[in-house]
Structure 1
């Protein structure tokens, strides 16, 4: 792997954060959110700020941008200097002018950062209206030019589109165009690729680097993924509990990390090296080779002909066939729009398949009515990507865990006893049954979601992007938990992901989808080590940090 080895020592210091402290107002007894954070970024340099959720990364960026929530967080010490100008001394009006002109920010989720009722071209143009005096025609030409620079297709059509009419990658490109249209000295990117599939992520990272080189922009890139760090960083600052615990040039930090916490982050990064192959046997001889999920020629078409519809509809899945044996894990991988989640939702009968067979625990369920399907739902359960949205925020965790078993005939006392056992199984205390979802971290909520699914004692567990929104260290813990539950309970897992690195850690077999069709299917070791299809090779090539052995702090020999 080739690391960035450019010398920035003679470049102008763009951002200088010195001993920055942030606290909750009027609560001196509470530990500071940021405790004397210091970092420096020079023109043309990419500095990565890494750490787990809650480490203080995003608070640092919001403090620099002057966007800390009013009356909730307050800067209590230190300084923030942008090209020699102390940002903490600026008035609100001066700070607004500094944003976009001197510094800009790209947020993690463009759909929440963009106005849903404004065309995206108008939203970019609004930056020029507020911070410039160009005539309308010149503004539009400038917007179209920056849209071409961020490699958007058919820019005039995109200019007139609303955010919901664009893909996730296109929306993020709009955010980048909006941030860079006034050529700011500093660009802050807060987890801008976390929600994107690996190929789109690679394109966005390349785009930011390309535009940075043209404009000599200083970039503060916030991420929890050391794979991304290895791809783009010049320097790395590691945060933990509101403090910078280690900072170094990227190659030095990856090869010789000093802090235990840094080593922990590196060891948690998933690699493309697949798990050790397991024989298709279980401790119970009668269960050996039992296919608990079989899908044959599954087809799904959205839309199509109807009273208000014309045309043939959108083909989302075509001729999809696979099977999973008890105690095994099949991963379905592919980019956004490849059909992975459509297949998962059809298998769960959350959406209606257009054609094909779905056999769960020996029963064909594809054509059953909702009423007839009810007894079979206990055999197949799902864990969604966002546990906060899938858990009822008004229910205590105990109620969420007993709901399913009680609905299927268990007594409340028996179900609550089982819920306590499940909490311990997923590594949480029994007394946590009395808490609400918001009182847990993201990783803990995902453990609760897994416990709720396992409460039904299913034959098949569907995990739909169940770890994609988690820090890599928490992600590793959840993957280990799934493997542990599978070993103890013998459940088959259908694992949906866009990241082949994650699939390598847990899957026995991998099925690769593109445009609704299977392009490759086989044992994980074969698919990852010797991909036959060009699309599979493109996915493996796009995996960030693919040439680095993070756990052993060295370059892979084959890289």
Structure 2
């Protein structure tokens, strides 16, 4: 960590940002902080606290027709970004400062190869010749430990895994050795092992290049692993700042304490007594194989290939119980869920809902009753809610398709909005008028509109900050108990699994490697892969409730 005597790479002083319009509202209310060479500063806080707006000001990427900096300075190596010309800040981006975004698929151009997009970085900021640019790109890919850099160079974004795409983004950001790296939630959507690799990579490259890092996250475990100092933000203000261990062990503000108390513990909760309910969902020897290759390709002599995404998976789920499925990306978790929902057709095995095998049912008319009994809550409510429909129309769409009276359906929708903690008047609003946590509550209400017996939650809280995540999880638990629902919870967050799951099933490469009570699987794992997942969990050496490092843990 840099000393205070070192000139800061980024110095923010009394920064204020407001919306444009006749009645502007303040987004940032006079924040100040410094980041020195080789130092990592974490900005933490709930959604809407101003973390990402701060990073956009530093990169001069504010949407100028919506927001504007009204006061203060943002100096990069002494040069004020706010008063600099657009041409100057464009030259600084990439060369002196760079950014890693949360979702690489939205930052990478899907129709251009990775190599062409990497080439653009060197073409815009250097005088390298094409051959030199290709060699530099290959070297950058090697530096971030990407396998087969030549293949990566010629690949399209969709041909890479999530972890590989994030490594590409890091390679692009650090290609010209910028003095400042801004990372905005770069590991939120990644599983724990990939997340650990990305965090280690950022730290490694930071040490090599003495880069200052502004790291934005809502994951307090990540803060423990990567931060030197922390700034806690709330409603556009920095309410607390200091060295990471000081803030986590001796928080001065109630808001900081509340954030830390919201972090789920890795220690599994006390096991719940068996509900004694009937088995409502039973999966027997489920198989799913994906085949790749077109008829045209076969005619041209190209070989088709297949991937066994799910291999001989079996489990049962009783009413009132929660089964968690954990594992890395590509382990088959979501494929199991999609087969269960019949969004994918299983290659083999049985899917029994209340004793009825739905694995081979065909057609909407045959599947509709089964789909009504099993409903899904997706990871991103932005994608699952139609932005052009009012909330009321989204909620009643399913019941209307099954023949329910519109007036009755709307009445139930209003009642369910109250159940999930939102006013019934919200039915007249559109999805964009709600926060992320509120939209996820609406997604839960929409699933409940079908009066299901099983809820499948696929990474339903992974994109939420810790306090909102805790609220949504508490809501799910309350609804489960009240309605005696069975819940299949798919997650890569072992902390969440430890606190809400009765049983845990660990998947690797399509197969179940370990399954049993959560306290046993997560507390005393038998399989090497399960132990590797637990050891990769961010902040596993820190007890957030007690505010101290766990005895025997190393820094």
TM-score (norm 2): 0.96
> For the Cα contact (< 8 Å) 2:115–2:154, is it kept in 1?
yes
> For the Cα contact (< 8 Å) 1:8–1:45, is it kept in 2?
no
1:338 aligns with 2:326: no
Structure 1 residue 312: deviation in Å?
Answer: 4.8
Match of 1:292 in 2: 280
Number of residue pairs the alignment of both structures matches: 547
Distance 2:307 2:243 in 1: 48
1:68 aligns with 2:56: no
- Cα deviations by residue, 1:319-364 (Å, 9 ceiling, x for unpaired): 0000001100000111111000000010111110000001001211
Match of 1:348 in 2: 341
Match of 2:169 in 1: 175
1:376 aligns with 2:370: yes
- SS of corresponding position for 1:303: strand
Structure 1 residue 557: deviation in Å?
Answer: 3.8
Structure 1 residue 280: deviation in Å?
Answer: 1.1
Structure 1 residue 26: deviation in Å?
Answer: 4.0
- 1:14 aligned to 9, 20, 29, which one? 9
Structure 1 residue 30: deviation in Å?
Answer: 3.3
Gap change, CA 1:301 and 1:538, over 3 Å in 2: same
Distance 2:305 2:11 in 1: 58
- 2:228 aligned to 219, 223, 234, which one? 234
Match of 1:442 in 2: 436
- Cα deviations by residue, 1:207-236 (Å, 9 ceiling, x for unpaired): 000000000010000111111100000000
Structure 1 residue 547: deviation in Å?
Answer: 1.3
Distance 1:548 1:75 in 2: 38
Structure 1 residue 378: deviation in Å?
Answer: 1.4
1:23 aligns with 2:18: yes
Structure 1 residue 558: deviation in Å?
Answer: 6.2
Match of 2:308 in 1: 315
Match of 1:487 in 2: 481
> For the Cα contact (< 8 Å) 2:308–2:510, is it kept in 1?
yes
Equivalences for residues 312-461 of structure 1 within 5 A: 312-370=305-363, 371-461=365-455
Match of 1:218 in 2: 212
> For the Cα contact (< 8 Å) 1:8–1:44, is it kept in 2?
no
Gap change, CA 1:299 and 1:305, over 3 Å in 2: farther
Distance 1:384 1:500 in 2: 18
Structure 1 residue 125: deviation in Å?
Answer: 2.1
- Greater CA deviation, 258-267 or 81-90? 81-90
Gap change, CA 1:100 and 1:306, over 3 Å in 2: closer
> For the Cα contact (< 8 Å) 2:294–2:304, is it kept in 1?
no
Equivalences for residues 472-511 of structure 1 within 5 A: 472-511=466-505
- SS of corresponding position for 1:551: coil
Distance 1:67 1:166 in 2: 27
Distance 2:412 2:19 in 1: 40
1:247 aligns with 2:241: yes
> For the Cα contact (< 8 Å) 1:267–1:552, is it kept in 2?
no
> For the Cα contact (< 8 Å) 2:2–2:37, is it kept in 1?
no
Match of 1:89 in 2: 83
- Cα deviations by residue, 1:383-422 (Å, 9 ceiling, x for unpaired): 1111121112222212222222333343223222221221
**Please, which runs of 5 or more residues in structure 2 have no aligned partner?**
none
Distance 1:86 1:452 in 2: 48
CA RMSD of aligned residues (A): 1.5
Structure 1 residue 271: deviation in Å?
Answer: 2.0
Structure 1 residue 152: deviation in Å?
Answer: 0.4
> For the Cα contact (< 8 Å) 2:437–2:472, is it kept in 1?
yes
> For the Cα contact (< 8 Å) 1:361–1:379, is it kept in 2?
no
> For the Cα contact (< 8 Å) 1:254–1:550, is it kept in 2?
yes
TM-score (norm 1): 0.95
- Greater CA deviation, 408-417 or 46-55? 408-417
Structure 1 residue 126: deviation in Å?
Answer: 1.6
- SS of corresponding position for 1:202: helix
1:268 aligns with 2:256: no
- Cα deviations by residue, 1:295-330 (Å, 9 ceiling, x for unpaired): 000000011687456445111001000000110000
> For the Cα contact (< 8 Å) 1:290–1:326, is it kept in 2?
yes
Distance 1:134 1:392 in 2: 46
**Please, which runs of 5 or more residues in structure 1 have no aligned partner?**
1-5, 282-287
- Cα deviations by residue, 1:252-272 (Å, 9 ceiling, x for unpaired): 000001111111111111221
- Greater CA deviation, 486-495 or 168-177? 168-177
Distance 1:558 1:530 in 2: 18
Distance 1:332 1:391 in 2: 25
Match of 2:138 in 1: 144
